[in-house]
Chain A
Amino acid sequence: MKKMAIIASKGTLDMAYPPFILASTAAALGYEVQVFFTFYGLQLLRKDLSSVMISPLANPAMPMPVPMPVMVQMLPGMESMATLMMKQKLKKHGVASLQEVRDMCLEAEVKFVACQMTVDLFEFDKSEFLENIEYGGAATFLGFAGDTDICLFV
């Protein structure tokens, strides 16, 4: 059986999709898949994904309906507005919600591993994370990744 390992290190809406899409698809293709969530990636393991946002700030490649100066992007509420607009756009184009693609991963038995160091660093409450996940460190990841066909850092 082919294997794929992914490190998910980002916790924004745009960067959350690639690991979940690749993991669920690889599982559908018969791969054994493990995703290691570290640093901001831990946000993607929360039971409630509604706090996952996208910001136009420091994200100059993000297509905007109208050009928006950075001074405007930093105003209060802009992040929520950008997130809402992005979610509407995703829906309109038939892209599954983050929740859906994550559910597809779990259904396909993709293994999620959370970085214990990050949990300690940010003093996260484990009860806010999904229940069927494991906690480990770099050696845990490498133990699986060393024997994979595809290994990605997102």
Chain B
Amino acid sequence: MNFDKELDVRGMSCPMPILKTKKSLNDMTTGQVLKIVATDAGSIKDMQSFSTQTGNTLVAHTEQNGEYTFFMQKK
């Protein structure tokens, strides 16, 4: 999947993945896609919730070898 910016939050626990995601999105423009790579298992639910509450679209998310990859499109 195409993305405009990548964010590596591997090794970080709640709430840093969400806070860093928010910060990265702040520097982006509407429609751009942020790729986020995390290892925090809680981030699956948290990213979905972040998306619902902020209106940024969680386009896709995958899991492989304990790494969770999210694609978040800026509102």
A positions within 8 Å CB-CB of B: 21, 24-25, 28-30, 93-96, 100-101, 104, 108
The docked-state distance in angstroms from the alpha carbon of A28 to that of B22 is 6
Rounded to whole angstroms, the CA-CA distance of A66 and B21 in the bound complex is: 38
Cα-based distance from A94 to B11 in the complex (angstroms): 5
Chain B residue numbers with a CB within 8 Å of A93 are 13
> In whole angstroms, what is the CA distance A25 to B21 when docked?
11
Are the CB atoms of A104 and B53 closer together than 8 Å? no
* Residue on A nearest B40 in the bound complex, by CB: A94
Question: For the complex, what is the distance from the CA of A10 to the CA of B24, rounded to whole Å?
Answer: 32
Measured between alpha carbons, how far is A25 from B40 in the docked complex, in Å? 16
Are B50 and A29 within 8 A (Cβ)? yes
**Chain B residues whose C-beta falls within 8 Å of the C-beta of A21 in the assembled complex:** 14-15
Can you spell out 12 A-B residue pairs with CB atoms less than 8 angstroms apart?
Answer: A21-B14, A25-B18, A25-B19, A28-B18, A28-B21, A28-B22, A29-B22, A30-B54, A93-B13, A95-B14, A96-B12, A96-B15
Min C-beta distance of A58 to chain B, whole Å: 27
Residues from chain A with a CB closer than 8 A to the CB of B22 are: 28-29
Q: Is the CB of B54 within 8 A of A29?
A: yes
Residue on A with the closest CB to B49?
A29
B60 at interface, CB cutoff 8 A: no
Please tell me if B59 contacts chain A, counting CB pairs below 8 Å: no
How many angstroms between the C-alpha atoms of A22 and B52 in the bound complex?
17
**A104, B11: Cα distance in complex, Å:** 18
| 8 A Cβ contacts from B13-56 to A | 13-16, 18-19, 21-22, 39-40, 50, 53-54
When chains A and B are docked, how far (Å) is the Cα of A94 from the Cα of B9?
A: 10
CA distance A21 to B16 in the complex (A): 9
Partner of B13 from A24, A25, A95, A104 at Cβ < 8 Å = A95
Most buried by B among A25, A93, A104: A25
